[in-house]
Amino acid sequence: MALQLGDIAPDFESDSTEGRIKFHDFIGNGWAVLFSHPKDFTPVCTTELGEVARLKPEFERRGVKVIGLSVDPVTDHRRWAADIEETQGAALNFPLLGDPERKVSSLYDMIHPNANDTLTVRSVFIIGPDKKIKLIITYPASTGRNFDEVLRVIDSLQLTAKYQVATPVNWQRGDDVIIVPAVSDEDAKKKFPQGWKAVKPYLRIVKQPQ
């Protein structure tokens, strides 16, 4: 059965550009983003890897480790890394898994045979400190991902984990948030002593907790 939100992210051991990785050890007690690339030496992937390298401090600030996967061997990744640095102005600064036997990509359902039976689609998994999958998104090979959106979801997930608030449509960092329905008004009084605006009894808006 395909992986679903709330499932434990499957553990694996694999070679990467930064040596052998045991995935759960790599995640440690923090958050992780695992994302797949269809193939080495492809144009869209080259731009994505440069962008994630540039954004690495933003991921680190949120306690998130990033790790990529491409179905080619690590020896190819190393040659490709030189092109990424040359063309994107950012050197690969996080591990890129080699997966020539498609072990990890099969484990994570990253190959969608009716789209392409050998290359992976562009999958993104956000994994929490409890090793559970918090987000799965799948893009087609021809569409580069928006990693600002990945950061935005991480901000939302971390706010929910810490403060029991949810984020409304098109929310951006700093915008007002919503008290989750599971919190009663009585409990909300303790958690949000500054009060909230109840547009409806189930739609209670508060300033974003800091």
Active centre residues (catalytic): 45
> Shortest approach of ligand BEZ to residue 44 CB, angstroms?
3
Q: Which of 114, 142, 184, 194 binds ligand BEZ (CB under 6 A)?
A: 142
Opening angle at CA 41, ends 38 and 44, nearest 5? 60
Which tokens in the block code for residue 173? Answer: 């960092």
Smaller CB separation from ligand BEZ, 41 or 175:
41
Q: Give the residue, chosen from 38, 50, 68, 98, that forms a contact with ligand BEZ under the rule CB under 6 A.
A: 38
- Closest by Cα among 196, 191, 151, 161 to 177: 196
Q: Is 100 in the site for ligand BEZ (CB under 6 A)?
A: no
CA distance 128 to 19: 23
Establish if 114 lies at the interface with ligand BEZ (CB under 6 A).
no
Q: Which is nearer to ligand BEZ, 70 or 167 (CB)?
A: 70
Size of the site for ligand BEZ (CB under 6 A): 8
Q: Could you tell me the two tokens for 196?
A: 């909230």
Say how far apart CA 4 and CA 37 lie, in whole Å.
20
**Site membership for ligand BEZ, residue 44 (CB under 6 A):** yes
- Quote the least distance from Cβ 38 to ligand BEZ, whole Å: 4
Cross-strand bridge partners of residue 166: 178
